[in-house]
Structure 1
Amino acid sequence: MATVNTYLNFNGNTEEAFNFYKSIFGGDFLTVQRYKDMPGCDGMKTDDLDKLMHIALPIGGNLLMGTDVTHPMPNVTYGTGVSLSVDAESEEEAHNMFNGLARGGKATMPLDKMFWNALFGMLTDKFGIQWMINYDYNK
């Protein structure tokens, strides 16, 4: 079966965002690549060369990956079309992830027990990424 991983684009703050995510989910970066280290980037603006071309953080059996968009790519705009859904392994983990991701962001649905027998909440983190945290009591 195919594996679906998440790839996030940022307007120049990918490194800050991924260090934040690493502080919540743990682990080590699998890959960190800067534009200045890649072939074919010689003509880039000097300010863009230190930005991240690619970063990958393993979370569970998947990868959270990202990049800084640079000129001439259009700036990233965030909307309500996509949320990252994370299934916690315990109530404590769900609370830790939710509270960590909510720091500097905004909870749109507080983490609470739901009618489908789960602990569930939604938030938008300080980088504009929407998250859904779920712990299923039926495990």
Structure 2
Amino acid sequence: MKKLIVIGSGAACAFALSAVLGTGVAAADDYAGQSYADASSAASDNGLTVVVASRVGDKVSEDECLVVRSQDAPFTSAIDGAGVEDTVQFYLNCNAGVASATTPGNSMASAVGRETRAAEEEAAAAQNEQDQLAEAGETPGATISLPEG
């Protein structure tokens, strides 16, 4: 019986300690999930200087890179240890939108991968429709005028 009480009280203490120390409260990242072009524009509009802290991949241009996370100032400069203000660091993923057998990218199991694939399929369908209309000699949104009479 004493072993059960000791084990039970140990588990209760461990639970209480984890609740007190915890992992902290996660803050929302205003820039994560956006393209670098959109996120840097938004940060600049907010009066922040943008610094690329890290970059993974090289399959897309920098403007098309995905901001994985960002870190707002204040933080200490890695160069001279001075405090930095009015700056945001971006961590970029510059791989392809969706991974394939030969190209690194986002997994189809991730939300970003599924959204990217859906956008690619939608763009391909729209292009296919435009191609079919062009082959038929029609222009999207055009009207045909017939002579009166």
Q: TM-score, normalised by structure 2?
A: 0.28
1 or 2, which has the higher helix percentage?
Answer: 2
Larger CA Rg, structure 1 vs 2 = 2
Structure number with greater CO (CA < 8 Å, separation at least 6) is 1
Query: Higher strand share goes to which structure?
Result: 1
TM-score when scaled to structure 1? 0.29
